[in-house]
């Protein structure tokens, strides 16, 4: 494979390890560990140290619960403030040209790789959480989600994080918006919110009864 002309001199070509692939450059993201701005790329933060602290955040503040019809979901044990990075979406890193099965393709999120491009298409990889991944893979979708995926970095490692978009009260389910094309047609959404795009039939039948009156 030919080294792209814009691949930085400092970068390994071809990248073969996770760290080489997810290496952050003078890019647009903030370090979620120390808050260093994009151009302060060499803040020195260490990914494995940050992950160890995150593991405690998970253990102390969240738990998994079974939800009828939705499998497993994540619930907050304590109140969590808005704009808090609660974890990392970790999984298997796959090349952008790989073909996932119909069910597995819904478990993939894009992560940009290499330096940010302005003239050519940004290369990316998939984080595949179908079989393996961190606890964040159990976050269900809601059409009124209380977290969002945030592309970030820790030191020189780019990663996909989950950040709260509002205060989450203890006992509430943690949810994220999976984006368009997930719950379409017969794939009904069970988020149960007023703004649901494709509500599950119990909601449908309740609406029909109202119309008959």
Ligand X SMILES: C[S@@+](CC[C@H](N)C(=O)[O-])C[C@H]1O[C@@H](n2cnc3c(N)ncnc32)[C@H](O)[C@@H]1O
Q: Is 135 in the site for ligand X (CB under 6 A)?
A: no
Cα(175)–Cα(195) distance, integer angstroms? 14
Shorter beta-carbon distance to ligand X: residue 163 or 177: 177
Three-state SS at 88:
strand
> Which range, of 70-78, 81-89, 115-123, 164-172, touches ligand X by CB under 6 A?
70-78
With CB under 5 to 8 Å by kind, the binding choice for 80 among ligand X, Zn ion, none is none
Q: Which of residues 108-127 bind ligand X (CB under 6 A)?
A: none
Angstrom distances, CA of residue 20 to CA of 10, 23, 127: 11, 5, 15
Cα(131)–Cα(95) distance, integer angstroms? 16
Max CA-CA distance within the chain?
A: 71
Q: Which of residues 150-209 bind ligand X (CB under 6 A)?
A: 189-191
**N-to-C CA span, the chain:** 67
* Residues 74-113, mask of contacts with Zn ion (x by CB under 5 A): ----------------------------------------
Task: Indicate the residue whose CB is closest to ligand X.
Answer: 71
> Which range, of 7-15, 90-98, 135-143, 164-172, touches Zn ion by CB under 5 A?
135-143
With CB under 5 to 8 Å by kind, the binding choice for 31 among ligand X, Zn ion, none is Zn ion
Length of the chain: 213
Q: Residue 172 carries which DSSP code?
A: P
């Amino acid at each position: 494979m030919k080294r792209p002309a814009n691949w930085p001199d400092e970068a390994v070509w071809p990248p073969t390890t996770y760290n080489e692939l997810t290496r952050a450059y003078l890019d647009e993201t903030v370090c979620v560990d120390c808050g260093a701005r994009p151009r302060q790329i060499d803040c020195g933060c260490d990914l494995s140290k940050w992950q160890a602290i995150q593991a405690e955040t998970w253990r102390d503040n969240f738990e998994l619960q079974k939800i009828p019809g939705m499998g497993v979901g994540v619930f907050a044990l304590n109140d969590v403030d808005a704009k808090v990075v609660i974890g990392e979406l970790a999984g298997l890193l796959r090349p952008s040209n790989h073909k996932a099965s119909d069910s597995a393709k819904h478990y993939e999120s894009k992560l940009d790789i290499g330096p940010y491009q302005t003239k050519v298409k940004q290369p990316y990889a998939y984080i595949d959480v179908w079989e393996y991944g961190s606890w964040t893979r159990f976050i269900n979708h809601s059409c009124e989600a209380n977290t969002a995926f945030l592309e970030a970095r820790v030191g020189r490692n780019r990663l996909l994080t989950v950040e709260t978009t509002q205060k989450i009260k203890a006992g509430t389910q943690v949810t994220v918006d999976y984006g368009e094309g997930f719950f379409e047609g017969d794939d009904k959404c069970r988020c149960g919110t007023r703004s649901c795009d494709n509500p599950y039939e119990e909601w449908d039948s309740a609406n029909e009864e109202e119309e008959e009156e």
